[in-house]
Amino acid sequence: MPSSFFLLWSSFILFSSNIIVLTETRANKTNLDRESLLCFKSGISSDPLGILNPWLNTSFNFCSWPGVTCGNGLRTRVVSLDLSSSDLGGQISGCIGNLTSLWRINLADNRLTGAIPEELGRLPQLQTLMLVGNRLEGNIPNSLGTSFSVSYVNLANNSLTGGIPYSLASSSSLRTLILSRNNFNGESLFTGPNIPLGMDISHNNFTGKISEENHEFKALIFKFMVNGSLERWLHSEYYSDHDMTARLGDFGSAKFLFPDLVAPKSLVEVGGTIGYMVPEYAMGSEISTRGDVYSFGVLLLEMLTGKQPTDGMFVDGLNLHNFTESMYPDRIADILDPHMVHEEEQQCAEPWMQSYITPLVALGLSCSIESPRERPGMQYVCVKLSAIKEAFLESHG
């Protein structure tokens, strides 16, 4: 009996010790997350909005800090860090690499500078990395490509240089890669079977072509265009070659899907250029040619007014469509791009406006209307454009 009691008591002690060790381990990891967040804050040199003010060394409830999300249950670990559009300046500290349960990082649209830490790619759970719209420099960390978990990477609108790491180009987990509007160069490297389903490497100096081996590939990348994009000439996601022939625009998402394959239901992950992508895609709606019509309509209005759909004036519900609509038809001349009116047209401005410009504006407005059902089909649009063109050529023949 005593020996049985001793055995039972020993088992209880051993079990209790394991519980204590496990609890201490969890507590240590939790404290490490808090210290890592404070270390990340130390790299931020500018916080005009005071977003990080509650991140105090005296505060232990870090799960309630702005931008921080912790997991549920016993594991009080940081799983998401979202400080997007917070006007933060400074550098991304490598301390963030100690947040080993982190699966999502969103630091988009800030004023962050310096290099992307190698530690980010070593996070074992990281799936989503959004650093778009900062002032980051240097190369893409090789560690991002060696990660087995990273599936979505958006590094657009920065000042990053160098080429695409081979490890990233051959990643088996990567599904979406957005590198547009940086200073990258060299070969695109995307020639194997692991091409991301969604990819944008435009507005860089890449060479080479994308392999056609992977029939699941749902992005279009064209060779370097010597004349750049319409953004260089006007401001748009539109490419031209030596003779200024258009090669790529944001519209055409539905057209390039293979007819014999099952198309993805939406472009939420693949996306498109902000301002040109149809609103319903952001809500998860299915891809359709009506979405392509919308993008074309926005482009047409942009060419006529000279205003980008992402212009700083478009806030509080105002956008390029309803701005133009508010001036249509009587005050179109007030918002028309001055470069549209040549000297010979100034002498007969009113007939010129009524015959060509006003119909083009009306077409752009009908294409970019919010309701997909109310947008015209592209065949109708082509007929209208052809009629306006023929009328113009006849009067200037």
Q: What is the pLDDT of residues 315-363, one digit of tens each?
A: 788 899 999 999 999 999 899 888 776 655 566 678 888 888 999 999 9
pLDDT digits (tens, 9 = 90+) for 222-231: 444 555 555 5
Question: What pLDDT sits at residue 131?
Answer: 95
Q: Which domains does the chain have, with CATH numbers?
A: 225-397 (1.10.510.10)
Q: What per-residue confidence (pLDDT) applies to 278?
A: 67
Q: What is the mean pLDDT of the chain?
A: 77
pLDDT grade, residue 119 (50/70/90)? very high
Residue 268, pLDDT > 50, answer no
118 or 276: which leads in pLDDT: 118
The model's confidence at residue 12, banded by pLDDT at 50, 70 and 90, is very low
For 360-396, the pLDDT digits (tens) are 999 999 999 988 889 998 889 999 999 999 988 888 7
Q: Give the per-residue pLDDT at 223.
A: 45
Rounded distance, CA 247 to CA 240, Å?
Answer: 6
The pLDDT confidence band at residue 286, using thresholds 50, 70 and 90, is low
pLDDT at 348: 65
Greatest mean pLDDT among 72-81, 203-212, 311-320, 346-355? 311-320
Q: How many alpha carbons lie under 13 Å from residue 312 in its C-beta half-sphere? A: 0
CB atoms within 10 A of CB 94: 17
Cα distance between residue 50 and residue 380, in whole Å: 52
Section 162-174 average pLDDT: 87
Mean pLDDT of 110-117: 95
**pTM exceeds 0.75 for this model:** no
* Distance of alpha carbon 135 from alpha carbon 115, whole angstroms: 9
Q: What is the pLDDT of residue 338?
A: 80
397/381 Cα distance (integer angstroms): 24
pLDDT at 14: 46
Percent of the chain with pLDDT over 90: 33
The reported pLDDT for the residue numbered 186 is 82
> Does residue 9 or residue 92 have the better pLDDT?
92
Please state the rounded mean pLDDT for residues 184-212. Answer: 72
Q: What is the side-by-side strand order in the sheet with 111-113?
A: 44-46, 89-91, 111-113
Q: What confidence score (pLDDT) does residue 7 get? A: 53
According to DSSP, the residues that pair with 78 across neighbouring strands are 70
**Which of the listed ranges 19-33, 92-106, 248-262, 309-323 does the model predict with the highest average pLDDT?**
92-106
- Average pLDDT of the residues in 191-220: 63
The tokens 């599936």 sit on which residue?
151
Distance CA 253, CA 141 (A): 30
CB 333 within 8 A of CB 304: no
Residue, of 19 and 278, whose pLDDT is higher: 278
